Every structure is written in structure tokens, then in C-alpha cells.
Amino acid sequence: MQKAIIIEDEVRSRELLQDLIEANCEGVQIVAVAGNVEEAVKVIRDHQPDLLFLDIELQTGTGFEVLQQLSGLSPAVIFTTAYDHYAIKAIKFSAVDYLLKPIDIEELKEAVTKVLGRGKETQQHLLSSLIHNLGHLQNSNPILTLSLANELEFIPVQEIIRIEAAGAYSVFYLADDRKIMVSKNLKEYEVLLAGHNFMRVHNSHIINLNKIKRMLKTDGGYAVMSDDFPVIISPKKKDEFVRVMTNRNL
């Protein structure tokens, strides 16, 4: 039996979530609940659960403040929130699971199965990545967590040279000459990396603007990347690309 704790400051939401878990998540036992940061830290240390359902906004702070006080503990975490919280981007960067309220039963079951299938070491890496990203999303080098078949890769975004579409997959080309394929489409990374010096210059390519060596004007235009790969610039993107690069060089 997997021990779980619900950290949620709204009593009705807490009761509803507990009912959903007990009815739909076999093998998960709710051993405690809490409604604020101080209570949460105490019950987590007392019970050392396998799984936390953690509301982002609490009466006396945030769920992230709870995590920062759990030195030595690495439970699986599923965040809950009633709206598209500003911190969801950091959560997405870190591949940590979250549920939007009202909670969908199938999404709940899927999230529980996924997080409980990860090892303690993996959970610790995920939470460390999340805490890093909460403090670094406003600069240019958050850590992007890539989920592969049997492992997770933690990539500082400025180590990414370019990302290429491969059907429903995306292929990352990194500064250390590695190539990583993940089962997400390019659009997801276009949205996630917006504001971090990345640009989608073609249907098949997102590039790191900091990794451009030079631009070729032949055949409509290419951006030659630091790995010497020439990425074609779509005619629809050419004016925007030139404008962005000109402004960067002012």
C-alpha cells in the first residue's frame, strides 16, 4: 500500500480529492491531510509518504515552500491547482505532474500510475530541477527535463542547439554532440521555450538564437548553427528572423 498525503487549504476540495483517490486509485492510502505550509511539513516528516497531492497556493504560502523544507525526503509529487498558475511553466519544464481542478478521474489515475512508477532517485532529480527552474525561469538557462522511454534527461536550455521535427516526435541536437528524440511534437517546445532565445524558423525547426554562427542569404536564407548544420529559414519567417537578429546585434 502506497502512503499518500493531501495538502490542500480548501476543505471541500480536500474532501473531494480524497474521495476520488479512494474510489479510483487502488493501492493508495491517504494517511494525513494538511491545509497550510507548517502543517504540511509536519505531517510529511511524521508519515514520510510515498506520494503528495500538493496544492500550489496554500493559506500561509505555496506548495513550493513545502518542498524546499523537505531535505532528505523525495516523495512523488502531483501538484493541483484551480487555474493556469504562473508556476505551471516551471512545472512543465521539469516534467513534474500536475492536475487542473476540477480534477478529471482519468487524468488522476494516469498521473498516479506514472509518478508511483518512478524511483526515489528520479523523484529527487525532478524536484531539484523544479526548484532550480522556479528561480531561473526569468533568465535564459532553466533546465528542461526530457522524458525518454526508460530515463529522464535534464538539459540546460542553452545546451540545445536546435530541435527538429520528426513526425509526432522532436529531435534535440545538443552542444555536446548528443542527439535525443522525445515523443512530443515541436509545437509543445515552441510554446515552452518562448522567451528563452529560441525561435521556430521553419515548420521543421526551432533554433537557439545564441547558437547561430552566421546567416547565408542563398536560396532564401539559412541559419548556420554552431554544429555547422544549415537550417533553412521559411519565407514566412524571414522578415521576423532578420528583425530579431538585427535587434539582438544593436
Compute the chain's Rg from CA coordinates.
21
SS3 at position 96: coil
Output the pLDDT for position 90.
Answer: 86
153 shares a domain with 232? yes
Domain with 162 in it: what CATH number? 2.40.50.1020
Among 19-33, 73-87, 179-193, which is the least confidently predicted range?
Answer: 73-87
- Which domain, by its residues, includes 56? 2-136
98 shares a domain with 10? yes
Q: How many domains does the chain have?
A: 2
Sorting pLDDT into bands at 50, 70 and 90, what band is 180?
Answer: very high
Q: List, in order, residues 6 or more apart from 241 with CB less than 8 Å away.
A: 199, 201, 221, 223, 233
Structural domain ending residue among the three candidates 85, 112, 136: 136
120-176 per-position pLDDT tens digit: 888 888 888 888 888 766 666 789 999 887 788 999 999 999 999 999 999 999 999
Q: Is the pLDDT of residue 193 over 80?
A: yes
106 shares a domain with 65? yes
Q: List, in order, residues 6 or more apart from 66 with CB less than 8 Å away.
A: 7, 37, 40, 41, 44, 54, 58
How confident is the prediction for the chain on average, in pLDDT? 91
Structural domain ending residue among the three candidates 110, 136, 162: 136
How far is Cα 181 from Cα 43, in angstroms, rounded to an integer?
Answer: 40
169 shares a domain with 118? no
Output the pLDDT for position 202.
Answer: 94
98-127 per-position pLDDT tens digit: 999 999 999 999 999 999 988 888 888 888
225 shares a domain with 197? yes
130 shares a domain with 179? no
Residue type, 140: S
126 shares a domain with 178? no
Domain with 85 in it: what CATH number? 3.40.50.2300
181 shares a domain with 72? no
Sorting pLDDT into bands at 50, 70 and 90, what band is 46?
Answer: very high
The answer to whether the beta carbons of residues 162 and 178 sit under 8 Å apart is no
Instruction: Name the more confident of 228 and 242.
Output: 228
183 shares a domain with 129? no
Q: List, in order, residues 6 or more apart from 65 with CB less than 8 Å away.
A: 37
Output the pLDDT for position 133.
Answer: 85
183 shares a domain with 131? no
H helices of the chain, in order, are 11-24, 37-47, 63-67, 88-93, 105-116, 120-136, 186-192, 235-249
Structural domain ending residue among the three candidates 136, 160, 195: 136
The answer to whether the beta carbons of residues 116 and 156 sit under 8 Å apart is no
